[in-house]
Amino acid sequence: MGNRRGIYIHIPFCVRKCNYCAFLSFEAETSPRTEYAEAVVKEIARRGEELGHPDIDTIYVGGGTPSVLDVSQMRDIMHEVGKAFRIKEGAEITIEANPATLGRKDGVMLAKMQAYKYMGFNRLSMGVQSMDNDRLHFLGRIHTPENIERDMDIVRRKGFYNVNLDMMFSVPSESKEDAMEDLEKILRFDPEHISCYSLQIEEGTPFAAMMESGEISEIPDEEDRDTYHKICARLREAGYEHYEISNFAKAGYRSQHNSLYWNMDDYIGIGLGASGFVNGVRYKNTSDFDEYFKAIDEGRFPVEEEHVNTAFDNISEAVFTGLRRVEGITYEDAMDAYMRAKDADLFLDSKKPEEAFWEIFEEAKEEAEDYASRGLLMIDGNGLRLTEQGIDISNSIMSLFV
């Protein structure tokens, strides 16, 4: 815990914003893509210099839809990463893509995928969401099931053998049977990693307006949780390890980059609205294009928020994110996170990790033990973890440690 470092690069452009999306993204055709790519290159160079060109374990280019950038723009970005940082041999390097954004013709897509390989990408994360055409249209996706099949064929032909496919369930009007049918179709592609997310209707999205008008309604919690547990069981049966609340992987294919977040490792956020955690400091870049470009032009970092973590911040975040993992959090790792902060109580370092942990969270212990007695939380001499049933109320349990 705390020994690795990654880079996250945000590309805030999409062909069209989906009906459920609350992420920071803008339609590509009306956005300053060229200017943005040039600014990102400058920010990468500046961060690398500030940090002394450190070793990097993972790189994740997300969005938005990074694959809408021209190949030359993405190449410039990745070239600068290689100049500004020392990328470790075997580093996991991921790019997000949506079907139908990699090229309309097979030849174009083959060339784009080959270019990604040359740039160093060795992992692809694709937003499939559903294998039903009507549901895709309802979600606001621009692709079809046929696009997914074609794209996966080309992805494999170009040598991408570490692929994540996203799936969304509990879509309004979708039945449990619909979700399981989607899952079976996704399993036919034999991806190395599958992320399964329950649709959450967020403020400011078209779906939120539709729900307010009564046009749609959310899937009841009981049905949502039943679908989730059926998905978990089917994926385990298919040979996938359920290693995090929403993530499933074949042996050896856990997302190394996402694990940085859950393990309290450092990550450098680059781009509009990107967040980072470096040397005990959390920061967030501005979400305003004009301010972002102005800061880059003036030689400043485009940071709008910055917070130096306290020892309690560290241990609280370590437990909160650690409980997302199926193996949970150990007392030793939690206390390691605590002791890394400058204001840590050094007296606690002389105690056994379990004793020191519960001294910090003395007020939470009784309620935590109550959850344990109900079979929702496992507590032992090594640490604590959620049970599969406990995942259903994970936020309530995690909030004990915030």
In a domain, 191, yes or no: yes
Residue ranges in 120-168 assigned as alpha helix (H): 133-139, 145-157
Domain hosting 66: range is: 5-262
Q: What is the DSSP letter of 309?
A: P
For residue 185, give the CATH number of its domain.
3.80.30.20
In the listed set 262, 288, 315, which residue is the last one of a domain according to the structure?
262
Check whether residue 377 and residue 258 sit in a common domain: no
- Report d(CA 183, CA 78) in Å as an integer: 33
Flag whether the pTM goes above 0.85: yes
The residues, any chain, with a CB within 8 Å of residue 337's CB and separated by 6 or more, are 1, 2, 264, 314, 315, 317, 318
In a domain, 316, yes or no: no
In the listed set 247, 262, 277, which residue is the last one of a domain according to the structure?
262
Check whether residue 62 and residue 163 sit in a common domain: yes
In a structure prediction context, what are the per-residue pLDDT tens digits for the chain, which is 402 residues long? 668 999 999 999 988 888 888 888 887 777 899 999 999 999 999 999 999 999 999 999 999 899 889 999 999 999 999 999 999 999 999 999 888 777 666 666 788 889 999 999 999 999 999 999 999 999 988 889 998 998 999 899 889 999 999 999 999 989 999 999 999 999 999 999 999 999 999 998 999 999 999 999 999 999 999 999 999 999 999 999 999 999 999 999 999 999 999 999 999 999 999 999 999 999 999 999 999 999 999 999 999 999 999 999 999 999 999 999 999 999 999 999 999 999 999 999 899 999 999 999 999 999 999 999 999 999 999 999 999 999 999 999 999 999
The strand pair at 241-244 and 303-308 is best described as unpaired
The strand pair at 281-285 and 266-270 is best described as unpaired
In the listed set 210, 235, 262, which residue is the last one of a domain according to the structure?
262
Check whether residue 26 and residue 175 sit in a common domain: yes
Check whether residue 253 and residue 106 sit in a common domain: yes
- Report d(CA 177, CA 190) in Å as an integer: 20
- Strand runs (DSSP E) across 313-356, as ranges? 329-330
Q: In this predicted structure, what is the pLDDT of residue 121?
A: 97
Check whether residue 206 and residue 68 sit in a common domain: yes
In a domain, 382, yes or no: yes
Nearest to 367, CA basis, from 396, 333, 334: 396
Q: In this predicted structure, what is the pLDDT of residue 19?
A: 81
In a domain, 297, yes or no: no
- Report d(CA 94, CA 105) in Å as an integer: 23
In a domain, 274, yes or no: no
The residues, any chain, with a CB within 8 Å of residue 316's CB and separated by 6 or more, are 401, 402
Could you give phi then psi for residue 275, rounded to 5 degrees?
A: -110, 150
In a domain, 319, yes or no: no
Could you give phi then psi for residue 329, rounded to 5 degrees?
A: -125, 135
In a domain, 233, yes or no: yes
Q: Are 303 and 82 in contact (CB under 8 A)?
A: no
Check whether residue 251 and residue 348 sit in a common domain: no
Domain tally, the chain: 2
Nearest to 239, CA basis, from 249, 253, 228, 247: 249
Q: What is the token pair recorded at 104?
A: 């309309």
Check whether residue 231 and residue 356 sit in a common domain: no
- Report d(CA 307, CA 302) in Å as an integer: 15
* 3-class DSSP state of 40: helix
Check whether residue 112 and residue 211 sit in a common domain: yes
In a domain, 291, yes or no: no
- Strand runs (DSSP E) across 231-380, as ranges? 241-244, 247-249, 266-270, 275-278, 281-285, 303-308, 329-330, 377-379
Check whether residue 106 and residue 237 sit in a common domain: yes
Check whether residue 237 and residue 370 sit in a common domain: no
The strand pair at 241-244 and 247-249 is best described as antiparallel
Check whether residue 258 and residue 380 sit in a common domain: no
Check whether residue 245 and residue 350 sit in a common domain: no
